[in-house]
A and B are shown apart, each in its own frame.
Chain A
Amino acid sequence: MVFNSLSFLAFLALGLVLHHLPLTWRVRKLNLLVASSLFYAAWNPLFLPLLWYAITLDWFLARALASARTPAWRKALLGVSLASNLGLLAFFKYGPFLADNTNALFLALGVPLHVPRVDVVLPVAISFYTFESLAYTLDVYRGHEKPWDSFLDFALFLTFFPHLVAGPIVRPRDFLPQCTQPRRATPSQLQWGLLLLVLGVFEKAVLADGLLAPLVDTVFAPGAKPSGGEAWSAALAFSGQIFCDFAGYSLCAIGVALCFGFHLPDNFQSPYAAIGFSDFWRRWHISLSSWLRDYLYIPLGGNRHGPARTHVNLMLTMLLGGLWHGASWTFVVWGGLHGLFLIAERMLRPLLEKPRWARAPVGRFAGVAVTFVGVCFAWVFFRAPDFATAFTVVRAMVGGSGADAGGLLSQFDMGLAVLTVGALLAAQWRYRDVPLPEVFTSVPWWASASAMTVMLVALVTATGVDRAFIYFQF
């Protein structure tokens, strides 16, 4: 059940009616929990027990952690949580990938062994709820949080349907305290939540799926031979597609949660207006980048042990961040490229911060442009189904396409993609550090109404191919 579907609208309407009935807070939380489980089961009921296993195990482990007397016992309990969560993730998400690579290594070394490959269906949302659950046990282990005293609240924290499938990756401390007091959306919260839902679905269904995805799919199809212009158009279009797809999903999640009176954290803040790559990662998929910072980069030592170790930590974090997205070396390369960008930025920072022109508008604009081009280039490896396709696109981008290349895209499609992404960049630059509610209040009401009208009409008439949200596969 995706946000851009009629069945979801029916589900949401029913959920809101139930949530606004004059029932006790406990019963209404129970309703949300049942609704969230049904929402998850709609994808594949077989994986519901897996989700509940993670909930139950970490609930009891956290309680045991809080009452554990010895460091060794605490470490053992944390080890169980890590092994269970990461083990499930490794089995379902990385099992075939690990088997293939192990076998390739054995073959290269001449070792007469073969690891059997078990193809399993990836349970939807496993990457997201695993990280949320791990955050809880790690926070309790470190003593940052006490174990929550209500199993119902904890189960709702992990299963709450707006963020369940593709984030934002919610932290326990941001969500659990919201469960203590009865919550219902005020009329303005309901109106704002629904507006965010419309905006999110518009980004997804109209911009990402309708305008950009067809062009991207054509150029990134295996065997396609794009010209330089087509390759750059596709890289640019995918930059727009993945932002509109994922930021659109996040907006939907935030909006839907608000309709029930819950607040979810922001996941994007004008990432394509970032000046530098560290700034980009403060703005892109914020809930994942902050998770990786707090639970991986800082525990590895962060930047506390000198430049060399800092660079190693940065690279490790980005490589694992890349791998989190999927069991493929192309994702690892994407993460590695961002690791390199971040290291290069750290090394060049002293040089770049001194000149006065760097702080002037032209310097800031140059910073945005360089960052965006680097991000675009890295996206090629993220989107390509394999290295052959990625290198074909990269070759074309640097002017190495053959004489037989081109003819894949019409001028109209390329122009539309460039216009769409150009408008997106301009909007992000204009509202670089302005939260969405402030954007809304800063424009006249009739301009908001006009934009809303356009979005509603476009949503009704944009009847393209239904595509799943990109991050559902992660």
Chain B
Amino acid sequence: MRSSTSSSSEAPASGALGRVWWVALLAAGVLLAGAEWGWRVRGFQPSVKDTPELWSLERARASEGDGSAVVMLGSSRFQVGLVPEVLSQALGGARVMQLSISGSSSLPVLEDLAADERFRGLVLCEVSPTLFFSVEPNEVRARPASYVARHAHRTFVEDWETALRLPFQEHLVVLLSAVQPKGVLHHLLVNRTLPPPPLNRTRADRHQPSHFEGVDVAALRHAWERRYQDAHGRTPEAAELEALLERVSAQVERIRSRGGEVVFVRMVSSGTVRRIEDTRYPRALYWERLLERTGSQGLSFEDSPALARFECPDGSHLDSRAATGFTHLLGQELLRQAPGGLATRTP
């Protein structure tokens, strides 16, 4: 048996340690700077990681101060299609938080906000029918529920770590997952080319501007169509829908009882994706019943000619160039409908 006296911790007698460090730091700096420049030339932009920890930071902000924040709750359609600073401006400088989680139902987070006594703000709750009304306990519910659970049990160190990483991720392309050596090598071997820039990126406020220019949108559309047709859970039976509406209604009531408000929003979808949604979840049976049961305001793109003229290149998400205009119009529409207390949420 080897003795327990240390050997690795005996610094080597060689005097080369300092030289090794300086040369390595210099060479690594040069290599990283070169890689940064090279990827930027190819059109890559920095992006933060959209992790549960980042969501947690945003979620914590929703309960800060007097709790009168405007919270966006939904799926990737909200993250891609709504620009937080534009919405804030449109609502007269309101504090705006993006709590949407891609591919997820809004319900678990709505319940979390309803249970939070400090929150008394406005919830813009996106209703993506296949996600919102699906009843099976599949990933669309499990994922946001896990975010909520992690938030409840997070440590202050996790918050620090996320906050420390953000400035680096916001400014450095070499930190992108898309340019990891392993992924790049794989792409090179398979396609004989370097990878293209990702379709979208995430900002520190969790907005995800997407650029569809130069992207094979037909393939994307096809992928979304398949997903909306088959995935995202099962269409509810009558009793299941009733229970779901009851559940949502109770959460809305809890938020309202503290002076908050919930406005349901249907984001724009196009082409076959929209047809699939309308077929699987007819407006009269789902959207209108939801508004009726909760007594909430609803804002559907179909009801506003200005919003309805927008098109989603992939059938499901807005392009970044359209997102700004769409957000501005949505903000105006919100003010026009002026749901209870919205005016009080502007500073």
Contact = CB atoms under 8 A, between A and B. Distances in A.
Interface stretch (B19-27, B57-65, B191-199, B263-271): B19-27
Interface string A407-444: 00010100010000000000000000001111011000
A42 B155 contact: yes
B172 to A, nearest CB: 8
Given A192-B12, A456-B24, A462 B155 contact: no
A101 interface: no
Interface stretch (B2-10, B116-124, B206-214, B243-251): B2-10
A440 B24 CA distance: 15
B176 A412 contact: no
A188 B177 CA distance: 35
Contacts of A188: 11-12, 15, 17-18
B41 interface: no
A449 B6 contact: no
Interface stretch (B179-187, B218-226, B312-320): B179-187
A134 B164 CA distance: 39
Interface string A55-85: 0000000000000000000000000000000
B5 A265 contact: yes
A219 interface: no
B13 A174 contact: no
A413 B122 CA distance: 47
Interface in A138-190: 171, 174, 186-189
A461 B6 contact: no
Interface in B14-47: 14-21, 23-25, 27-28, 31-32, 35
Contacts of A438: 12
A323 B217 CA distance: 54
A412 B186 CA distance: 7
Interface residues of A, number: 63
A289 to B, nearest CB: 8
B157 interface: yes
A187 B6 contact: no
A449 B1 contact: no
B12 A441 contact: yes
Interface string B149-179: 0000001110011001100100000111101
B150 to A, nearest CB: 13
Contact of B18 (A187, A290, A446): A187
- Classify the secondary structure of A's interface with B: helix
B230 to A, nearest CB: 20
29 contacts: A6-B161, A6-B164, A188-B17, A191-B11, A191-B18, A192-B12, A196-B9, A210-B180, A254-B6, A255-B9, A269-B2, A286-B4, A289-B1, A293-B1, A416-B182, A436-B7, A436-B8, A437-B13, A445-B19, A446-B23, A448-B16, A449-B19, A452-B21, A456-B25, A461-B174, A461-B180, A462-B181, A462-B182, A463-B180
Interface of A: 1, 5-7, 10, 42-44, 171, 174, 186-189, 191-196, 210-211, 251, 254-255, 257-258, 263-266, 269, 282-283, 286-287, 289-290, 293, 410, 412, 416, 435-438, 440-441, 445-446, 448-450, 452-453, 456-458, 460-464
Interface of B: 1-2, 4-21, 23-25, 27-28, 31-32, 35, 49, 155-157, 160-161, 164-165, 168, 174-177, 179-182, 186, 189-190
| For the complex of A and B, 7 pairs with smallest distance between CB atoms | A452-B24, A445-B16, A192-B11, A456-B28, A435-B7, A437-B12, A449-B23
